Structure 1
Amino acid sequence: MKLISACTLDCPDACSVIIEKKDDGSVSITGNPEHPFTKGFICSKGRKAYERLSSPERITTPLMKVNGEFVPTDWETALDRIADKLKALKEEPASILHVRSHGYRGALAEASHFLFRSLGASATRGALCDDAGIEASIMDFGALHHNDPHDLLNAGFIVNWGKDLSRSSLHMGQIIKEARKLGRKVISISPGGDGNADYSDTVIRIRPGTDRFLAAAIIRKLLVRGYASSSALLKSANWDGFKELIAAQDEEDLLTACDCSADDMHMLANIYANIDMKPVASIIGWGIQRHVYGGENVRFINALAFLSGQVGRRGGGVYFNISSGRNLNTAWAKNAGTPARRLLLPAIGREILAATPTIKFLWADGSNFVNQTPDAASNVAAMDSIDFKVVVDAFMTDTAMRADIILPCALNHEREEILGSCLHNCVQYSAAVFPPAGQARHDFDIMTDLAARLGITPPAREYALRQALDVPHLSTTLEELRARGFAVAEHPCIAWEDYDFAHPDGKYRLPDALHTEPAPPQGYPLNLMSLVHRDYLHSQMPEKEQSSKPTVWVNPGIAMLGALDQARPIYLATPKGRIKVQVEVLKGLHPECVIIRRGGWMKFGNCANPLIEPRITDIGETAAYYSQHARLEN
């Protein structure tokens, strides 16, 4: 038997899948060949989803902590106790904190937001992922929009600013491969440590976090040559000030700041100047905006594409992000109420410890925030300071193990869901192909039962699903979506083709400052880059995969490597602390980088986040993970 479902993981591809239950009891999960973006293939994470569902490590019954140990309990007892705690805090909603991340995505995933907004509880603000780039793009264009991803096949050149095409989006990588077969040229710019060489005609290595200086140098070269688009100049709200900003820069200083050769910069200037009359598409990876000036990095790349006339053009444009919720209506949750206050998520431990009134109750779902946010030691202390904690999860994560009650949730393909994408304009239907394991329940049903105990009336699940499809640019019914598995929302294939931007005056906004990169603290010369893992999404990593020390990678020529005693334990150290690691060398990696793959758990000593200080990006209040400096030591 074959059924259509979809992957609800926090991934831009949002794949539609075919699940086959075979007569021998085995299960296969493959890409839906009818889906215009999935096109019949998916990544290993999607193919192995059933292994996660059937994992022996999975929590399948409610657990309550008694005398420091978790013991099984029933749903009625667990929910009654939670409701009693919440009722006792009814007059003090600010003391209740709701932490919701993107452990899974979809319309019904908004259920906990509905409940805690109805209570007027405290919530979080800021982001761990992509808000610096999102807010930067909104500052520039007025809204999030980009060309259809398949329009990359119409490009003459594709300039990839920092996206790891081998790990971050399997389907974007495939489009790039197809583009190269058609003769399109791909230039990848990054500090290295990615798999982009196999997807690129040219690789340019720069210093981490300094993309804005290279973009500014190219812009300066275009302006000196007189290659700026006249249409762009007319549609810029602040052209004169930006022109003065660029004129004040020294080309050599800009290239020194980003550690790029003049030859490479000149090659890029020729490409963006459109000398060959070929459109240039710019892809912006999410990593470049995880620096202190990450928003500025994105803004200068946007400005380069705009001023060179590559925006609003077939085969051109800038690809960073679209809203994964723009093709879904979740007003039932968004309009349920206003949070009493918002605590900064990238510094959540410190925020909780400093909160007045104090946080007395915490609910976390779709989130392993103790592990995933910077300054993890403060996160642990913050959890210890809270009287009562509830975590909705399927595994004993670093966050779940510190709860008072763990509520087991259904996982992908066990719960019905509708989800969008932050990359393409398809809306996917994820079916409940399998019954939830043990006593695990759909998050929406958990919310419904708890809401009833609190005198709150939530919408019915069917209503929430139907309302999700009530958007102007989507023409489908729930029945059609369930049958077909996906629908395509109608948006222009070319973003900003008429040069009418989403600001009230219709004009584009150029950056108004170019900040120097902060110097590393003395004794910590390496940028610590906790990059995406190929096989696991963030901390959704099986415990069996964490038996050995985490691996870090460095350039083989760095002096620090020769100073280490290989016979003694080696540590990755920052001013926040250190963890034991094993070291490998990686040719092509910038010598000021040290790479560790994200996802390891603190309880196994595999997590880098205890070493990372809670710095915030210049725009969007995003965690500036990659501005952390480190060293290797015995």
Structure 2
Amino acid sequence: MSIVSACAMDCGDCCSLIVDPETKKIKGNPRHPFTKGFCCRKGSRYFERLDAHDRIVTPLIREDGQFREADWDEALTLIADKLNPLLPTPEKILHARGHGYRGVIGDASKVFFKKLGTSALYGSVCDNTGIEASLRDFGDLQHNDPEDILNASRVINWGRDLARCSIHQLQLLHKARKNGTEVLTISPGGDDTAEFSDVNVIIRPGTDRFLAAAVLKLYLEAGDLNPWVLNRCANWPVLRGIIDGYKLSELTSMCEVSTADVEMIYDWYADTGNVATLISWGLQRHLYGGENVRFINALAMISGNIGISGGGAYYNVSSGRNLGKWDHLVMDHEPERRTFLQQDLGAELRRADPKVEFIWVDGFNIVNQVPDCLAVADAFRKPFVVCVEAFMNDTALTADVILPPALMLEREDAFGSFVHNYVHYCAKVVEPRGQCRPDHEVLRDLGARLDTPVTLPDTETMLEESLKKGGFSLEELRENGFVKAMHPYVAYEDMQFAHPDGLYRFPETLTPEPERDPDYPLQLLTLVRRKYLHSQIPEDDQRGTPTVWVSKQNPAWGPLNPAEEVYLVTPQGAMQVQMKTIDDLHPRAVIIRRGGWMKMGHNANVIIKPMNTDMGDGTAYYSQVCRLENR
């Protein structure tokens, strides 16, 4: 018998799924207006993860440098014995929670450790930079309904690799093109955007703000400015002053896009008809990623394509905006907490005073996914580390206790999307393997063992309390598998923005790129994979030497001998790679697919420097300079 459930992985498509537990087949729900009956291979093959031969299915305790199996009572008693002496000094306890799985029940660990007043993480390894940029521009985080892209005359896609990160948005683009919509993609290349684009423009990675500024320069030179649009902006003279301060040739030189291509992009925005702008979840991963997003938003605004059907700037929306919190059922006040910047966690923990003595990690292969991860692994050696993890990945290897969680389809939850407006019910479809348990059950058991007990609500209460915000009933959600939250089909209609004065805000700085380092003339891009999400990669698929891709026009290609060992080198270190060529990639870019494990020699974060973006405490992974060499 098939069961309606949903995908809880960290993906904006947030698919509604039809799951047959007997045949172990998963497909997209045909009744769901966004999923439309299909899902990506990450979702359709999820039973491979559930049934993996190397999955951890019993608690493990490190003893004499080796892991041995234990039962839950022994593991939780040991953890409580370590936690209880630290409860009077909760800053010595660190909770590290990521987005490896999502949901209102999945947030139980956040509430549990907030109740204890422990240290926590701040900063972002994902999209906070673009979110902060959008908030500064619009005042809140909205975009047109995803289906409204079908009303666009043209779509300008600033770098979103839809074939790997949002196949349902890709399906909408395919449908739009059949209806006559044209698509122009701007990216460093090396992706599969040509399959859904009429035109591709190659740009120097991380310089999108200069290209957007160059197009704005053409608007100024043409005098093609709508007085009504300018009247809805609070600080147009500042932006105009910035653009006036540059020659067009200077802006095109900075982004390495020809004047002819800039003029073509201007024509796409300025021609009759409406233009929708898609903004990548990668171009904010640069030192000035916030400016990148803000200047693209500014171009969408000046061209008159904000607040109209068929237009809009699509970055993302908050996946939690349709769901409420239940932490007030546990918390009587908001405690002050010490925080650590996650993208520089190794150095942060070394500097910590008092030292962290206990770390709890869940939903986050943190040792693998932050820059300078060798430093993080080293910093995890002294504290007592508990890792809630299903596989022996880089973070699990640092643990003193590993607790095996029930995974998606083995537990129930509810969550929203950062692309569309549906709230999904993730039904429990099969029993957890072995001794695996849902996280909230583990925390309720642990909470009862503490000297200062922490009591969490039952799952029914968590779900009901969270659904109150949207006025949804749990019965309806369980019965249908999803409900739709009501938001305006067109964001910022009539150009009414969420700032107190109702006006739009332009960026007020345009920061130059750092000069190229002649010793490290290339730029490393750690891009998403097609088959796996981030570090959820089977060990068997990480055998051998990792691959990097370059253009044949890359200055490293000619001098290197592929028959000899090739190394990817940064100021932080080196890793052995094999090199392949790919068409239409910027000549200074080097692509490696993200998420490979350190223990398998596939993790580029080992040689990536911790760098903050210009806003939102984001991580500037893609500003890492590098070179390729034989040794």
Please say if residues 220 and 247 of structure 1, whose CA atoms lie closer than 8 Å, have aligned partners that are also in contact. Answer: yes
- TM-superposed deviation, 1:215: 0.3
- Cα 1:279–1:364 change in 2 (3 A) is same
- Is it true that 1:327 corresponds to 2:322 in the alignment? yes
Q: How does 1:75-154 map to 2 (within 5 A)?
A: 75-154=72-151
Please say if residues 541 and 600 of structure 1, whose CA atoms lie closer than 8 Å, have aligned partners that are also in contact. Answer: yes
Aligned to 1:20: 20
- TM-superposed deviation, 1:166: 1.0
Structure 2: runs of 5 or more not aligned: none
- Is it true that 1:338 corresponds to 2:346 in the alignment? no
- Cα 1:368–1:333 change in 2 (3 A) is farther
Letter in 1 for 2:116: L
Aligned to 1:236: 233
- TM-superposed deviation, 1:297: 0.1
Q: Distance in 2 between matches of 1:344 and 1:168?
A: 26
Please say if residues 231 and 309 of structure 1, whose CA atoms lie closer than 8 Å, have aligned partners that are also in contact. Answer: no
Aligned to 2:514: 518
SS at 2:278 equivalent: strand
- TM-superposed deviation, 1:339: 4.8
Q: Distance in 2 between matches of 1:365 and 1:166?
A: 29
Q: Distance in 2 between matches of 1:252 and 1:345?
A: 39
Letter in 2 for 1:112: S
Aligned to 1:466: 464
Aligned to 1:39: 36
- TM-superposed deviation, 1:229: 2.6
Q: How does 1:539-554 map to 2 (within 5 A)?
A: 539-554=535-550
- Is it true that 1:631 corresponds to 2:627 in the alignment? yes
1:448-480: CA deviation from partner (whole Å, max 9, x where unpaired): 111222211212211001111111xx3431111
- TM-superposed deviation, 1:289: 0.4
Aligned to 1:2: 2
Q: How does 1:81-480 map to 2 (within 5 A)?
A: 81-273=78-270, 275-276=271-272, 278-332=273-327, 336=331, 337-386=334-383, 388-454=384-450, 455-471=453-469, 474-480=470-476
SS at 2:174 equivalent: helix
1:194-239: CA deviation from partner (whole Å, max 9, x where unpaired): 1100000000001000000000011111122122232221121112
Please say if residues 408 and 440 of structure 1, whose CA atoms lie closer than 8 Å, have aligned partners that are also in contact. Answer: yes
1:237-269: CA deviation from partner (whole Å, max 9, x where unpaired): 112222111111111000010011111111111
SS at 2:170 equivalent: helix
Please say if residues 393 and 406 of structure 1, whose CA atoms lie closer than 8 Å, have aligned partners that are also in contact. Answer: yes
Please say if residues 114 and 333 of structure 1, whose CA atoms lie closer than 8 Å, have aligned partners that are also in contact. Answer: no
Q: Distance in 2 between matches of 1:208 and 1:536?
A: 24
Letter in 2 for 1:420: G
Please say if residues 290 and 623 of structure 1, whose CA atoms lie closer than 8 Å, have aligned partners that are also in contact. Answer: yes
SS at 1:105 equivalent: coil
- Cα 1:151–1:620 change in 2 (3 A) is same
Q: Distance in 2 between matches of 1:592 and 1:339?
A: 45
Please say if residues 108 and 461 of structure 1, whose CA atoms lie closer than 8 Å, have aligned partners that are also in contact. Answer: yes
Q: Distance in 1 between matches of 2:152 and 2:405?
A: 44
1:11-40: CA deviation from partner (whole Å, max 9, x where unpaired): 000000001134xxx311000000111000
Q: Distance in 1 between matches of 2:71 and 2:325?
A: 31
Please say if residues 353 and 385 of structure 1, whose CA atoms lie closer than 8 Å, have aligned partners that are also in contact. Answer: no
SS at 1:188 equivalent: strand
Please say if residues 21 and 429 of structure 2, whose CA atoms lie closer than 8 Å, have aligned partners that are also in contact. Answer: no
Please say if residues 308 and 494 of structure 2, whose CA atoms lie closer than 8 Å, have aligned partners that are also in contact. Answer: no
Q: Distance in 2 between matches of 1:476 and 1:13?
A: 21
Q: Distance in 2 between matches of 1:226 and 1:121?
A: 56
Please say if residues 111 and 333 of structure 1, whose CA atoms lie closer than 8 Å, have aligned partners that are also in contact. Answer: no
Per the normalisation by structure 1, the TM-score is: 0.97
Q: Distance in 1 between matches of 2:7 and 2:146?
A: 19
Q: Distance in 2 between matches of 1:492 and 1:331?
A: 26
1:171-197: CA deviation from partner (whole Å, max 9, x where unpaired): 011111111000000000000011100
Please say if residues 110 and 330 of structure 1, whose CA atoms lie closer than 8 Å, have aligned partners that are also in contact. Answer: no
Please say if residues 93 and 358 of structure 2, whose CA atoms lie closer than 8 Å, have aligned partners that are also in contact. Answer: yes
SS at 1:560 equivalent: coil
SS at 1:51 equivalent: helix
Aligned to 1:508: 504
1:561-616: CA deviation from partner (whole Å, max 9, x where unpaired): 22122232111111111111111001100001000011210001011000100001
Please say if residues 324 and 422 of structure 1, whose CA atoms lie closer than 8 Å, have aligned partners that are also in contact. Answer: yes
Which residue of 579, 594, 597 maps to 2:575?
579
Letter in 2 for 1:445: E
Q: Which moved more, 1:280-289 or 1:231-240?
A: 231-240
SS at 2:200 equivalent: strand
SS at 1:562 equivalent: coil
Q: Distance in 1 between matches of 2:150 and 2:336?
A: 44
1:355-383: CA deviation from partner (whole Å, max 9, x where unpaired): 11111110000000100000111111111
Q: Distance in 2 between matches of 1:335 and 1:374?
A: 34
Please say if residues 330 and 456 of structure 2, whose CA atoms lie closer than 8 Å, have aligned partners that are also in contact. Answer: no
Please say if residues 117 and 339 of structure 1, whose CA atoms lie closer than 8 Å, have aligned partners that are also in contact. Answer: no
1:252-289: CA deviation from partner (whole Å, max 9, x where unpaired): 0000100111111111112222x32x100000001100
Tell me how many residue pairs correspond in the alignment. 626
- Cα 1:167–1:421 change in 2 (3 A) is same
Structure 1: runs of 5 or more not aligned: none
- TM-superposed deviation, 1:522: 2.9
SS at 2:19 equivalent: strand
- TM-superposed deviation, 1:500: 1.8
Q: Distance in 2 between matches of 1:123 and 1:264?
A: 46
Letter in 2 for 1:537: L
- TM-superposed deviation, 1:428: 0.6
Please say if residues 241 and 512 of structure 1, whose CA atoms lie closer than 8 Å, have aligned partners that are also in contact. Answer: yes
Q: Which moved more, 1:242-251 or 1:534-543?
A: 242-251
SS at 1:106 equivalent: coil
- TM-superposed deviation, 1:521: 2.5
Please say if residues 113 and 334 of structure 1, whose CA atoms lie closer than 8 Å, have aligned partners that are also in contact. Answer: no
Letter in 2 for 1:137: S
Identity fraction in percent: 49
Q: Distance in 1 between matches of 2:427 and 2:219?
A: 51
Q: Distance in 1 between matches of 2:171 and 2:554?
A: 34
Letter in 1 for 2:106: A
1:44-69: CA deviation from partner (whole Å, max 9, x where unpaired): 01010011000011000000000110
- TM-superposed deviation, 1:84: 1.8
Aligned to 2:618: 622
Which residue of 50, 62, 67 maps to 1:65?
62
Please say if residues 114 and 334 of structure 1, whose CA atoms lie closer than 8 Å, have aligned partners that are also in contact. Answer: no
Q: Distance in 1 between matches of 2:374 and 2:226?
A: 50
